[in-house]
Chain A
Amino acid sequence: MQLEIKNLSKKYSNGVQALDNVSLTIERGMFGLLGQNGAGKSTLMRTIATLQDPDSGSVHFNGIDVLKQPEVLRKTLGYLPQEFGVYPNVTAEELLFHIADMKGIVQKGERKDTVEALLQKVNLYEVRNKRLDGYSGGMKQRFGIAQALIGSPELIIVDEPTAGLDPMERNRFYNLLSELGENAVVILSTHIVEDVSTLCTDMAIIGKGKVVLTGKPSEIEEALRGKLYEVPIDKKMLAEYQEKYKVISHRFFAGRMMITVLADDAPAGEFDAKAPSLEDAYFKILSEN
Chain B
Amino acid sequence: MRIILSIIQSELKQRLFSWVSLIFFLMLVFQAIWYAKGSFDYFANEQVLMNAPSIIYRNYASMGMLMIIIIAISTGAVLYKDIQYKSAQWTYAMPINDKHFFIGRFSAAFLYLVIISTGLVIGHLLLPYSGIGEAVRFGSTPFGQIIHGWLLFTVPNLLFYVAIVFFAVVFTRRIATSYLAVFVVVIIFLIAQTSYETGGGNNLLAYLIVDPGGYVAAQNYTDLQTPLEKNTAYFELSGYILTNRLLWLGVAILLSFLAYFKFSFKYFIQVGTNQSKKISEENRNLSVLPSVKLPRVAKQFQLTNFLTKLWSLSKLEFLNIVRPTSFKIILGIILLMIFLQNVTWNATYYIGKEVPISSNMTFFRLQWGVFVTMLVMIWAGELFFKDKTVNIWQITDTLPVPIWVTQLSRFVAIIGLAFVLSLSFIAISIFTQILLGGAAYIDLGRFAEDLLLHRWAFLNFILWASWVFFVAALSGKRILTHILGVGTFLFLIVSFDLGILEDLRVGFGFTPGIEDYSEMSGYGIFQQGATWFFFLWLSLGAVFTMAGIWLWKRGSEKKWRNRISFTNKQLHPLSKVVLAMSFSVFIVLMSFVSKNVYQNGNFTPEAEEERLDALYEKKYKYIEAKPQPKYSKVDLKIDLFPSIRKATFEANLILENRLGIDTLYLNWKDFVAVKSLTMDGKALQLVKEDNVQNLTAYLVPSKNRKDRLLNLNLKAEKQYVGFTQNEFQADITYQGSFGSVQDFLPVIGYDSNKELLENRKREEQGIKKLTSRKAGIDNAMGLSQNTFTTDADLVTGSITISTKKGQIPFAAGQLLKMEEQAKRTVAYYAIKTPQVFNWHLGSSDYQRLTGKANKTAYTILHKPSHTLNVEKYKDDL
Shortest Cβ distance from A124 into chain B, in angstroms?
A: 9
* A residues near B562, Cβ cutoff 8 Å: 53
Q: A289 interface residue, CB < 8 Å from B?
A: no
| Interface residue stretch chosen among B218-226, B551-559, B608-616 | B551-559
- Considering only CB atoms, which chain B residue lies closest to A55 in the complex? B559
Shortest Cβ distance from A87 into chain B, in angstroms?
A: 6
Q: Across the interface, do A74 and B308 meet the contact criterion of CB distance under 8 Å?
A: no
Q: A113 interface residue, CB < 8 Å from B?
A: yes
* A residues near B274, Cβ cutoff 8 Å: 133-134
CB 8 Å contact bits of A101-113 with B (1 = contact, 0 = none): 1111111001101
Interface residues of B in 550-582 (CB under 8 A from A): 554-559, 562, 567, 569
A168 to B281, CA, bound (A): 13
- Considering only CB atoms, which chain A residue lies closest to B399 in the complex? A102
Q: Across the interface, do B391 and A127 meet the contact criterion of CB distance under 8 Å?
A: no
A121 to B298, CA, bound (A): 20
Q: Across the interface, do B290 and A99 meet the contact criterion of CB distance under 8 Å?
A: no
Contact of B299 among A68, A105, A134, A149 (CB under 8 A): A105
Q: A64 interface residue, CB < 8 Å from B?
A: no
Q: Across the interface, do A74 and B392 meet the contact criterion of CB distance under 8 Å?
A: no
Shortest Cβ distance from B243 into chain A, in angstroms?
A: 46
Q: Across the interface, do B395 and A104 meet the contact criterion of CB distance under 8 Å?
A: no
- Considering only CB atoms, which chain B residue lies closest to A90 in the complex? B320
Q: B279 interface residue, CB < 8 Å from A?
A: yes
Q: Across the interface, do A75 and B295 meet the contact criterion of CB distance under 8 Å?
A: no
Q: A131 interface residue, CB < 8 Å from B?
A: yes
Q: A263 interface residue, CB < 8 Å from B?
A: no
A263 to B443, CA, bound (A): 95
Contact of A133 among B277, B555, B556 (CB under 8 A): B277
Shortest Cβ distance from B669 into chain A, in angstroms?
A: 62
Contact of B400 among A83, A104, A126 (CB under 8 A): A104
- Considering only CB atoms, which chain B residue lies closest to A168 in the complex? B287
Contact of B399 among A81, A99, A106, A122 (CB under 8 A): A99
A250 to B279, CA, bound (A): 40
Q: Across the interface, do B279 and A127 meet the contact criterion of CB distance under 8 Å?
A: yes
* A residues near B329, Cβ cutoff 8 Å: none
Q: Across the interface, do A89 and B324 meet the contact criterion of CB distance under 8 Å?
A: yes
A171 to B555, CA, bound (A): 31
Shortest Cβ distance from B181 into chain A, in angstroms?
A: 23
- Considering only CB atoms, which chain A residue lies closest to B396 in the complex? A102
Q: Across the interface, do A172 and B295 meet the contact criterion of CB distance under 8 Å?
A: no
Q: Across the interface, do B395 and A53 meet the contact criterion of CB distance under 8 Å?
A: no
Q: Across the interface, do B297 and A135 meet the contact criterion of CB distance under 8 Å?
A: no
* B residues near A168, Cβ cutoff 8 Å: 284, 286-287
A176 to B394, CA, bound (A): 21
Q: B691 interface residue, CB < 8 Å from A?
A: no
Q: Across the interface, do A172 and B287 meet the contact criterion of CB distance under 8 Å?
A: yes
Q: A130 interface residue, CB < 8 Å from B?
A: yes
A230 to B556, CA, bound (A): 45
Q: Across the interface, do B298 and A107 meet the contact criterion of CB distance under 8 Å?
A: yes
A152 to B274, CA, bound (A): 34
Contact of B281 among A80, A83, A127, A176 (CB under 8 A): A127
* A residues near B289, Cβ cutoff 8 Å: 121-123, 172, 175-176
A139 to B396, CA, bound (A): 19
* B residues near A135, Cβ cutoff 8 Å: 279
Shortest Cβ distance from B295 into chain A, in angstroms?
A: 4
Q: B293 interface residue, CB < 8 Å from A?
A: yes
Once A126-B283, A136-B279 are accepted as A-B contacts, the answer to whether A50 and B398 lie under 8 Å apart by CB is yes
Q: B202 interface residue, CB < 8 Å from A?
A: no
Q: B94 interface residue, CB < 8 Å from A?
A: no
Q: Across the interface, do B278 and A136 meet the contact criterion of CB distance under 8 Å?
A: yes
Q: A51 interface residue, CB < 8 Å from B?
A: yes
Once A75-B400, A79-B394, A98-B316 are accepted as A-B contacts, the answer to whether A104 and B277 lie under 8 Å apart by CB is no
CB 8 Å contact bits of B388-421 with A (1 = contact, 0 = none): 0011101111111110000000000000000000
Q: Across the interface, do B286 and A105 meet the contact criterion of CB distance under 8 Å?
A: no
> For the side of the interface on A, what is the size category?
35 or more
Q: A151 interface residue, CB < 8 Å from B?
A: yes
Q: Across the interface, do A120 and B299 meet the contact criterion of CB distance under 8 Å?
A: no
Q: Across the interface, do B556 and A52 meet the contact criterion of CB distance under 8 Å?
A: yes
* B residues near A136, Cβ cutoff 8 Å: 278-279, 281
Q: Across the interface, do B402 and A71 meet the contact criterion of CB distance under 8 Å?
A: yes
Q: Across the interface, do B297 and A77 meet the contact criterion of CB distance under 8 Å?
A: no
Q: B301 interface residue, CB < 8 Å from A?
A: yes
Q: Across the interface, do A88 and B402 meet the contact criterion of CB distance under 8 Å?
A: no
Q: Across the interface, do A152 and B297 meet the contact criterion of CB distance under 8 Å?
A: yes
Contact of B395 among A79, A110, A176 (CB under 8 A): A79
Q: Across the interface, do B305 and A106 meet the contact criterion of CB distance under 8 Å?
A: yes
Q: Across the interface, do A52 and B558 meet the contact criterion of CB distance under 8 Å?
A: yes
* A residues near B292, Cβ cutoff 8 Å: 117-118, 120-121
Q: B300 interface residue, CB < 8 Å from A?
A: yes
Q: B637 interface residue, CB < 8 Å from A?
A: no
* A residues near B402, Cβ cutoff 8 Å: 71
- Considering only CB atoms, which chain A residue lies closest to B275 in the complex? A134
* B residues near A49, Cβ cutoff 8 Å: 394, 398
Q: B282 interface residue, CB < 8 Å from A?
A: yes
- Considering only CB atoms, which chain B residue lies closest to A94 in the complex? B316
Q: Across the interface, do A113 and B394 meet the contact criterion of CB distance under 8 Å?
A: no
* A residues near B301, Cβ cutoff 8 Å: 75, 104
Q: Across the interface, do B279 and A84 meet the contact criterion of CB distance under 8 Å?
A: no
Shortest Cβ distance from B824 into chain A, in angstroms?
A: 65
Q: B312 interface residue, CB < 8 Å from A?
A: yes
Once A84-B394, A87-B390, A121-B290 are accepted as A-B contacts, the answer to whether A46 and B277 lie under 8 Å apart by CB is no
Q: Across the interface, do A149 and B294 meet the contact criterion of CB distance under 8 Å?
A: yes
Q: B777 interface residue, CB < 8 Å from A?
A: no
* B residues near A58, Cβ cutoff 8 Å: none
Interface residues of B in 287-328 (CB under 8 A from A): 287-290, 292-301, 305, 308-309, 312, 316, 320, 324
Once A121-B294, A171-B287 are accepted as A-B contacts, the answer to whether A52 and B557 lie under 8 Å apart by CB is yes
Q: Across the interface, do A85 and B391 meet the contact criterion of CB distance under 8 Å?
A: yes
A110 to B287, CA, bound (A): 28
Q: A12 interface residue, CB < 8 Å from B?
A: yes
Q: Across the interface, do B397 and A51 meet the contact criterion of CB distance under 8 Å?
A: yes
Once A46-B556, A52-B555 are accepted as A-B contacts, the answer to whether A175 and B288 lie under 8 Å apart by CB is yes
Once A106-B308, A107-B298, A136-B278 are accepted as A-B contacts, the answer to whether A123 and B394 lie under 8 Å apart by CB is no
A149 to B396, CA, bound (A): 14
A88 to B389, CA, bound (A): 11
**Max chain B CB contacts within 10 Å: which of A77, A79, A101?**
A101
- Considering only CB atoms, which chain A residue lies closest to B567 in the complex? A68
* A residues near B567, Cβ cutoff 8 Å: 68
A140 to B671, CA, bound (A): 73
Q: Across the interface, do A71 and B286 meet the contact criterion of CB distance under 8 Å?
A: no
**Max chain A CB contacts within 10 Å: which of B297, B301, B308, B390?**
B297
Shortest Cβ distance from A117 into chain B, in angstroms?
A: 5
Q: Across the interface, do B391 and A83 meet the contact criterion of CB distance under 8 Å?
A: yes
A2 to B417, CA, bound (A): 47
* B residues near A10, Cβ cutoff 8 Å: 557
Once A71-B402, A75-B299, A101-B309 are accepted as A-B contacts, the answer to whether A131 and B277 lie under 8 Å apart by CB is yes
Q: A86 interface residue, CB < 8 Å from B?
A: yes
Q: A141 interface residue, CB < 8 Å from B?
A: no
* B residues near A121, Cβ cutoff 8 Å: 289-290, 292, 294
What are 20 inter-chain pairs, A to B, with CB distance below 8 A? Answer: A46-B555, A46-B556, A50-B397, A50-B398, A51-B554, A51-B555, A71-B569, A74-B400, A75-B299, A88-B390, A102-B401, A111-B297, A114-B294, A117-B294, A120-B290, A126-B283, A139-B279, A139-B281, A152-B297, A172-B289
Closest 4 CB pairs of A and B: A51-B555, A104-B299, A85-B391, A81-B394
**Additional A-B contacts beyond A52-B556, A77-B400 (4; CB < 8 A):** A46-B557, A74-B398, A139-B279, A147-B395
Chain B contacts to A: CB under 8 angstroms:
274, 277-279, 281-284, 286-290, 292-301, 305, 308-309, 312, 316, 320, 324, 386, 390-392, 394-402, 554-559, 562, 567, 569
Chain A contacts to B: CB under 8 angstroms:
10, 12, 46, 49-53, 68, 71, 74-75, 77, 79-81, 83-89, 98-99, 101-107, 110-111, 113-114, 117-118, 120-123, 126-127, 130-131, 133-136, 139, 144, 147, 149, 151-152, 168, 171-172, 175-176
